[in-house]
Chains A and B, each alone.
Chain A
Amino acid sequence: MTDVIRIAIRCDADIVLVRQQARLLARELGFSGSDLTLIATALSELARNIVEYARQGEIVLSQIRQGRQLGITIVARDHGPGIADIERAMQDGYSTGKGLGLGLPGAKRLMDEFEITSAEGQGTTIKATKWVR
Protein backbone atom coordinates (compact mmCIF):
# COMPACT_ATOMS: atom_id res chain seq x y z
CA MET A 1 0.00 0.00 0.00
CA THR A 2 1.19 3.49 -0.83
CA ASP A 3 2.40 5.28 2.28
CA VAL A 4 3.03 8.86 1.24
CA ILE A 5 1.98 10.76 -1.88
CA ARG A 6 3.54 14.14 -2.50
CA ILE A 7 2.01 16.42 -5.14
CA ALA A 8 3.28 19.83 -6.21
CA ILE A 9 0.48 22.37 -6.55
CA ARG A 10 1.06 25.06 -9.16
CA CYS A 11 -2.09 25.39 -11.26
CA ASP A 12 -5.74 24.40 -11.36
CA ALA A 13 -5.02 21.10 -13.13
CA ASP A 14 -3.07 20.07 -10.00
CA ILE A 15 -6.24 20.58 -7.93
CA VAL A 16 -7.93 17.87 -10.04
CA LEU A 17 -4.87 15.62 -9.80
CA VAL A 18 -4.67 15.82 -6.02
CA ARG A 19 -8.37 14.96 -5.73
CA GLN A 20 -7.89 11.87 -7.90
CA GLN A 21 -4.86 10.71 -5.91
CA ALA A 22 -6.65 11.23 -2.59
CA ARG A 23 -9.65 9.22 -3.77
CA LEU A 24 -7.39 6.31 -4.73
CA LEU A 25 -5.53 6.33 -1.42
CA ALA A 26 -8.70 6.83 0.66
CA ARG A 27 -10.44 3.96 -1.15
CA GLU A 28 -7.45 1.69 -0.41
CA LEU A 29 -7.75 2.65 3.25
CA GLY A 30 -11.41 1.61 3.32
CA PHE A 31 -13.26 4.95 3.34
CA SER A 32 -16.89 4.90 2.25
CA GLY A 33 -18.15 6.62 -0.90
CA SER A 34 -19.55 9.62 0.95
CA ASP A 35 -16.35 10.07 2.97
CA LEU A 36 -14.32 9.90 -0.27
CA THR A 37 -16.36 12.85 -1.52
CA LEU A 38 -15.89 14.80 1.73
CA ILE A 39 -12.10 14.24 1.59
CA ALA A 40 -11.91 15.18 -2.11
CA THR A 41 -13.96 18.33 -1.49
CA ALA A 42 -11.83 19.45 1.47
CA LEU A 43 -8.68 18.86 -0.59
CA SER A 44 -10.08 20.83 -3.45
CA GLU A 45 -10.54 23.85 -1.17
CA LEU A 46 -7.06 23.53 0.36
CA ALA A 47 -5.34 23.09 -3.01
CA ARG A 48 -7.20 26.04 -4.51
CA ASN A 49 -6.13 28.23 -1.57
CA ILE A 50 -2.52 27.41 -2.42
CA VAL A 51 -2.96 28.30 -6.10
CA GLU A 52 -4.92 31.47 -5.32
CA TYR A 53 -2.92 32.93 -2.45
CA ALA A 54 0.56 31.40 -2.59
CA ARG A 55 0.75 30.47 -6.31
CA GLN A 56 2.60 27.28 -5.47
CA GLY A 57 3.05 24.77 -2.72
CA GLU A 58 2.60 21.10 -2.09
CA ILE A 59 0.14 18.63 -0.69
CA VAL A 60 1.24 15.47 1.05
CA LEU A 61 -1.23 12.64 1.52
CA SER A 62 -0.41 9.86 3.94
CA GLN A 63 -2.04 7.08 5.81
CA ILE A 64 -2.07 7.27 9.58
CA ARG A 65 -2.65 4.57 12.16
CA GLN A 66 -3.60 5.17 15.78
CA GLY A 67 -4.13 1.96 17.67
CA ARG A 68 -6.63 0.06 15.53
CA GLN A 69 -7.86 3.18 13.78
CA LEU A 70 -6.83 3.98 10.24
CA GLY A 71 -7.05 7.37 8.63
CA ILE A 72 -5.76 9.74 6.00
CA THR A 73 -3.75 12.84 6.76
CA ILE A 74 -3.51 15.78 4.40
CA VAL A 75 -0.72 18.30 4.77
CA ALA A 76 -1.06 21.42 2.61
CA ARG A 77 2.06 23.56 2.71
CA ASP A 78 3.06 26.77 0.97
CA HIS A 79 5.57 29.59 1.35
CA GLY A 80 3.12 32.28 0.34
CA PRO A 81 2.10 35.46 2.14
CA GLY A 82 0.67 33.61 5.14
CA ILE A 83 -2.55 34.40 6.98
CA ALA A 84 -2.53 37.56 9.07
CA ASP A 85 -5.62 36.73 11.11
CA ILE A 86 -6.27 32.98 11.36
CA GLU A 87 -9.32 33.41 13.58
CA ARG A 88 -10.94 35.62 10.98
CA ALA A 89 -9.89 33.35 8.08
CA MET A 90 -11.71 30.51 9.84
CA GLN A 91 -15.01 32.43 9.87
CA ASP A 92 -17.60 31.57 7.22
CA GLY A 93 -17.88 34.13 4.49
CA TYR A 94 -14.60 35.93 5.18
CA SER A 95 -12.27 36.06 2.20
CA THR A 96 -9.44 38.28 1.05
CA GLY A 97 -9.51 36.60 -2.37
CA LYS A 98 -12.13 35.91 -4.97
CA GLY A 99 -13.63 32.97 -3.13
CA LEU A 100 -16.84 32.53 -1.19
CA GLY A 101 -14.92 32.54 2.09
CA LEU A 102 -15.96 28.97 2.82
CA GLY A 103 -12.73 27.19 1.88
CA LEU A 104 -10.93 26.96 5.23
CA PRO A 105 -13.90 26.72 7.62
CA GLY A 106 -15.61 24.38 5.14
CA ALA A 107 -12.59 22.10 4.86
CA LYS A 108 -12.41 21.99 8.65
CA ARG A 109 -16.03 20.84 8.87
CA LEU A 110 -15.43 18.09 6.30
CA MET A 111 -12.45 16.61 8.15
CA ASP A 112 -12.17 15.17 11.69
CA GLU A 113 -9.04 17.03 12.78
CA PHE A 114 -7.75 20.33 11.46
CA GLU A 115 -4.70 22.32 12.45
CA ILE A 116 -3.41 25.49 10.87
CA THR A 117 -0.11 27.27 11.37
CA SER A 118 0.80 30.38 9.51
CA ALA A 119 3.27 33.23 9.73
CA GLU A 120 2.94 36.42 7.76
CA GLY A 121 5.41 36.48 4.88
CA GLN A 122 6.51 32.90 5.52
CA GLY A 123 3.65 30.70 4.48
CA THR A 124 0.95 28.44 5.75
CA THR A 125 0.76 24.79 6.74
CA ILE A 126 -2.53 23.03 7.25
CA LYS A 127 -2.76 19.51 8.62
CA ALA A 128 -6.08 17.71 8.45
CA THR A 129 -7.01 14.13 9.26
CA LYS A 130 -10.04 11.98 8.63
CA TRP A 131 -10.55 8.58 10.26
CA VAL A 132 -12.15 5.57 8.66
CA ARG A 133 -15.50 5.06 10.37
Chain B
Amino acid sequence: MSTPILKQGHYLIASLQPEQSDTDLLQLQDILVEQVGRFRSRGLILDVTLLDVMDSFATRTLRNIAQAVSLRGAETVIVGIRPEIAFAMVQLGLDARLSGVRTALDLEEALAILNRRCQEGMCRD
Protein backbone atom coordinates (compact mmCIF):
# COMPACT_ATOMS: atom_id res chain seq x y z
CA MET B 1 0.00 0.00 0.00
CA SER B 2 1.56 3.30 -1.02
CA THR B 3 1.52 6.43 1.11
CA PRO B 4 0.50 9.77 -0.39
CA ILE B 5 3.30 12.31 0.03
CA LEU B 6 2.47 15.97 -0.52
CA LYS B 7 4.99 18.72 -1.04
CA GLN B 8 4.05 21.99 0.61
CA GLY B 9 6.71 24.64 0.16
CA HIS B 10 9.77 23.55 2.12
CA TYR B 11 7.89 20.73 3.81
CA LEU B 12 6.81 17.20 2.96
CA ILE B 13 3.57 15.80 4.35
CA ALA B 14 3.10 12.02 4.41
CA SER B 15 -0.32 10.60 5.29
CA LEU B 16 0.15 7.09 6.62
CA GLN B 17 -2.56 4.70 5.48
CA PRO B 18 -4.38 2.22 7.72
CA GLU B 19 -3.41 -1.44 7.72
CA GLN B 20 0.16 -0.92 6.59
CA SER B 21 2.39 -3.95 6.72
CA ASP B 22 5.92 -3.83 8.11
CA THR B 23 7.23 -3.97 4.52
CA ASP B 24 5.09 -0.96 3.55
CA LEU B 25 6.50 1.02 6.46
CA LEU B 26 10.09 0.17 5.61
CA GLN B 27 9.51 1.22 2.00
CA LEU B 28 8.04 4.50 3.20
CA GLN B 29 11.10 5.03 5.40
CA ASP B 30 13.44 4.76 2.39
CA ILE B 31 11.28 6.97 0.17
CA LEU B 32 10.95 9.76 2.75
CA VAL B 33 14.62 9.90 3.65
CA GLU B 34 15.44 10.09 -0.06
CA GLN B 35 12.78 12.70 -0.89
CA VAL B 36 13.77 15.04 1.94
CA GLY B 37 17.11 15.32 0.17
CA ARG B 38 15.72 15.49 -3.35
CA PHE B 39 13.34 18.35 -2.55
CA ARG B 40 15.76 19.97 -0.06
CA SER B 41 12.90 19.89 2.46
CA ARG B 42 13.29 21.58 5.81
CA GLY B 43 10.54 19.70 7.51
CA LEU B 44 8.62 16.44 7.37
CA ILE B 45 5.13 15.99 8.75
CA LEU B 46 4.03 12.40 9.40
CA ASP B 47 0.25 12.29 9.66
CA VAL B 48 -0.81 9.15 11.54
CA THR B 49 -4.50 10.04 11.93
CA LEU B 50 -5.61 7.03 9.88
CA LEU B 51 -3.36 4.41 11.50
CA ASP B 52 -5.35 1.63 13.18
CA VAL B 53 -2.42 0.50 15.34
CA MET B 54 0.88 1.99 16.50
CA ASP B 55 2.75 -1.05 17.70
CA SER B 56 6.43 -1.37 18.56
CA PHE B 57 7.45 -1.86 14.93
CA ALA B 58 5.55 1.18 13.66
CA THR B 59 6.86 3.31 16.53
CA ARG B 60 10.44 2.25 15.93
CA THR B 61 10.13 2.88 12.20
CA LEU B 62 8.69 6.38 12.72
CA ARG B 63 11.48 7.15 15.18
CA ASN B 64 14.07 5.88 12.68
CA ILE B 65 12.57 8.06 9.95
CA ALA B 66 12.72 11.13 12.22
CA GLN B 67 16.33 10.45 13.16
CA ALA B 68 17.49 9.75 9.60
CA VAL B 69 15.63 12.81 8.31
CA SER B 70 17.31 14.88 11.02
CA LEU B 71 20.70 13.69 9.77
CA ARG B 72 19.62 14.92 6.35
CA GLY B 73 18.98 18.38 7.81
CA ALA B 74 15.22 18.42 8.27
CA GLU B 75 12.90 18.37 11.25
CA THR B 76 10.08 15.80 11.72
CA VAL B 77 6.74 16.35 13.42
CA ILE B 78 4.25 13.50 13.97
CA VAL B 79 0.63 14.61 13.96
CA GLY B 80 -2.71 13.02 14.72
CA ILE B 81 -2.00 10.31 17.30
CA ARG B 82 -5.59 9.39 18.21
CA PRO B 83 -6.66 9.08 21.89
CA GLU B 84 -7.01 5.28 21.87
CA ILE B 85 -3.70 4.87 20.04
CA ALA B 86 -1.99 7.20 22.54
CA PHE B 87 -3.42 5.14 25.39
CA ALA B 88 -2.25 1.84 23.84
CA MET B 89 1.23 3.29 23.28
CA VAL B 90 1.48 4.36 26.92
CA GLN B 91 0.41 0.89 28.09
CA LEU B 92 2.96 -0.72 25.78
CA GLY B 93 5.68 1.61 27.04
CA LEU B 94 6.19 3.10 23.59
CA ASP B 95 5.67 6.74 24.54
CA ALA B 96 9.23 6.93 25.87
CA ARG B 97 10.53 5.53 22.57
CA LEU B 98 9.27 8.58 20.73
CA SER B 99 10.61 11.02 23.32
CA GLY B 100 13.06 12.62 20.89
CA VAL B 101 10.43 13.22 18.22
CA ARG B 102 8.13 16.24 18.10
CA THR B 103 4.40 15.52 18.09
CA ALA B 104 1.51 17.87 17.41
CA LEU B 105 -2.25 17.61 17.62
CA ASP B 106 -2.95 18.63 14.02
CA LEU B 107 -1.44 19.91 10.79
CA GLU B 108 -1.83 23.58 11.77
CA GLU B 109 0.18 23.10 14.95
CA ALA B 110 2.82 21.02 13.10
CA LEU B 111 3.28 23.76 10.49
CA ALA B 112 3.58 26.36 13.25
CA ILE B 113 6.31 24.29 14.95
CA LEU B 114 8.26 23.90 11.70
CA ASN B 115 7.88 27.58 10.77
CA ARG B 116 9.16 28.59 14.19
CA ARG B 117 12.15 26.26 13.92
CA CYS B 118 13.03 27.68 10.52
CA GLN B 119 12.77 31.26 11.76
CA GLU B 120 15.14 30.38 14.57
CA GLY B 121 17.59 29.27 11.91
CA MET B 122 17.49 25.63 12.97
CA CYS B 123 16.73 24.55 9.41
CA ARG B 124 18.96 24.98 6.42
CA ASP B 125 18.11 27.67 3.87
Known contacts A34-B83, A41-B92, A110-B88: does B52 contact A13 (CB below 8 Å)?
no
- Residue B56 contacts which of A12, A20, A33, A106 (CB distance < 8 angstroms)? A106
| Contact across chains for A41 and B21 when beta carbons are under 8 A apart | no
B5 located at the interface, meaning its Cβ lies under 8 Å from any Cβ of chain A in the complex: no
Report, as a range, how many residues of chain A touch the other chain. 20 to 34
- Residue A15 contacts which of B21, B60, B88, B93 (CB distance < 8 angstroms)? B21
**Interface flags, A105-119, vs B, CB<8A=1, else 0:** 110011000000000
B91 located at the interface, meaning its Cβ lies under 8 Å from any Cβ of chain A in the complex: yes
- The docked-state distance in angstroms from the alpha carbon of A100 to that of B64 is 12
- Give the residues from 15 to 72 in chain A that come closer than 8 angstroms, CB to CB, to chain B: 15-16, 19-20, 23, 33-34, 36-38, 40-41, 44-45, 48
**Interface flags, A2-13, vs B, CB<8A=1, else 0:** 000000000011
